[in-house]
Each structure stands twice: as structure tokens, then as C-alpha cells.
Amino acid sequence: METRVTFVDCPSCGLPAEVEHRYTLTSTDGPLEGAKIRCPDGHWFSGPLESLVPAERPGAAVERAQNEMHRSG
């Protein structure tokens, strides 16, 4: 199942960080999905997507970000 993530929680400040770029990492266990994210406060991170998104609720950050957008729009 493909993981679709547009926003994730910023690991530094918790704000919704936008996924700017996605790429494939190779590891001994097979391909891993990596991403570069940037938050509204200027932090950015790059690494395996699974390390940036809480494994138990991968859609939570996206839902919250979309709700924020609806309220402000």
C-alpha cells in the first residue's frame, strides 16, 4: 500500500511540515521511502519517511494539517 503523506509533524517544533521532496533509499532490507520536509518555522529534515512519521498513526498529521487549512481558508 502506497503511503501518501503531504504533511508530517516537525520533529523539532511539532508544526505541520510540508514534504518537499521524496526519494527512495536503499538498505539491506530493501528500498526505503525517504523524504525532505520543511516546517513553517524554517526547520528542515531529510531521512527515511518512517522515522519522520509516527508509525501508529501515519495519517494523523495529514488530517490535522488539512483541518488547519480548511479553517484558515
Question: What residues line the site for Zn ion (CB under 5 A)?
Answer: 10, 12-13, 39, 41, 43
Give whichever of 13 and 69 is closer to Zn ion, judged by the CB atom.
13
In the complex, minimum distance from the CB of residue 15 to Zn ion, in angstroms, rounded to a whole number: 5
Return the residue matching grid coordinates 520536509: 37
Find the shortest distance in angstroms from Cβ 42 to Zn ion. Answer: 7
Rounded to the nearest whole angstrom, what is the least distance from the CB of residue 12 to Zn ion in the complex? 4
> How does DSSP assign 36-51, residue by residue?
EEE-TTS-EEEEEHHH
Which three three-digit cell numbers place residue 71?
Answer: 479553517
Residue 37 and residue 10 in contact, taking contact as beta carbons nearer than 8 Å: yes
Query: In this complex, which beta carbon is closest to Zn ion, that of residue 10 or of residue 53?
Result: 10
